[in-house]
């Protein structure tokens, strides 16, 4: 299990938080997602077959690209 935190500046309301959490939890291997409306950070616990690339691609595909 790996944990990564992504900086996602496009988060601006609870709707964004829910959208991000649902999209990332739909990736096989993602076990926990927490998107924070204040820090604009998204923390993800994941294991194979999920990886950093699939998480970043999913964030980008729903309009919330990670800058870090
Ligand atoms: Cu929003």
Q: What is the pLDDT of residue 26?
A: 98
Structure pTM?
0.95
d(CA 30, CA 15): 20
Q: How far is the CA of 23 from the centre of ligand 1 (A)?
A: 14
CB 35 within 8 A of CB 13: no
Measured CA to CA, the distance from residue 31 to residue 37 in angstroms comes to 20
What residue ranges do the domains of the chain occupy?
A: 2-61
Find the 37 Cα to ligand 1 centroid distance in Å.
9
CATH number of 2-61: 3.30.70.100
pLDDT digits (tens, 9 = 90+) for 29-60: 999 999 999 999 999 999 999 999 999 999 99
Q: In this predicted structure, what is the pLDDT of residue 68?
A: 81
Provide mean pLDDT across the span 12-40: 98
Q: How far is the C-alpha of 65 from the C-alpha of 39, rounded, in Å? A: 15
């Amino acid at each position: 299990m790996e944990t990564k935190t992504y900086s996602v500046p496009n988060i601006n309301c609870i709707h964004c938080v829910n959208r991000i959490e649902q999209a990332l939890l739909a990736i096989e291997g993602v076990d926990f997602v927490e998107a924070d409306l204040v820090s604009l950070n998204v923390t993800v616990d994941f294991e194979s077959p999920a990886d950093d690339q699939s998480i970043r691609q999913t964030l980008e595909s729903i309009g919330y690209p990670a800058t870090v």
